[in-house]
A = this chain, B = another copy of it.
């Protein structure tokens, strides 16, 4: 047996954790019971329930055309960025890294969907799409902005409501294409994520990997649509935001002494799949 001399307690924690926990998201064939769910909450460990939302009306009936028809004439809040990274560390042209908040604007639902679909279809081709659009508000939008679609999903996740003894704080619908990316971050909420259309790839780190993500106070900035040329400009804001600057998908950049010890947990969701994303992951 190879003897490893470990001097740093944080490295020791991460290495010991890796030895005891394979970085594999457990797969369930159906929704857990409240008690089964609570065991995952107690362990603060994710799982994916494959196909648990297969029989939701949303999973069975939604398509771009369906949503276009259903929300015909309405506008939706769209986050616009240069490269798809909203609320993310972003390198400016002068080389400095800032925390970039997206430009938000109301767009007619049809125009928004046509844009992201055409961008997806032309991906790789010499694109004339100079920006990435992502409907990604997190303000309980499925019970507000998209309220007319709310009846197509379960009004809550019963196993989680019963186990946690609380109604959902927010229920959100997010619509994007393969350029939509969410920067490495953590939330102080227990999350149940359900895939309705397409796929989403998750890269997850356990909470004890905090020393690996190189959190820094980044100057804040915001994308603003120029009134002159219509494109996006990054405007400085008078504050800083503490944010992870290490990206497990570009592990050589912005690494800390601990980053190389991380074993990310990856999982891809398909339509009908349900992910428990524990708080602080």
Interfacial residues of chain A within 46-86, with CB under 8 A of chain B in the complex: none
Of the four ranges (under 10, 10 to 19, 20 to 34, 35 or more), the interface on chain A belongs to under 10
Q: Which residues of B contact A34 (CB under 8 A)?
A: 35
Q: Which residues of B contact A162 (CB under 8 A)?
A: 35
Contacting pair B35 A42 (CB below 8 A) = no
Contacting pair A163 B41 (CB below 8 A) = no
Q: Which residues of B contact A35 (CB under 8 A)?
A: 34-35, 38, 162-163
Q: How distant is the Cα of A162 from the Cα of B38 in the complex, in angstroms?
A: 12
Q: Which residues of B contact A42 (CB under 8 A)?
A: 38, 41-42
**Pairs across A and B, CB under 8 Å, 9 listed:** A34-B35, A35-B35, A35-B163, A38-B38, A38-B39, A38-B41, A39-B165, A41-B42, A42-B42
Known: A35-B162, A35-B163. 8 other contacts (CB 8 A): A34-B35, A35-B35, A38-B38, A38-B41, A38-B42, A39-B163, A39-B165, A42-B42
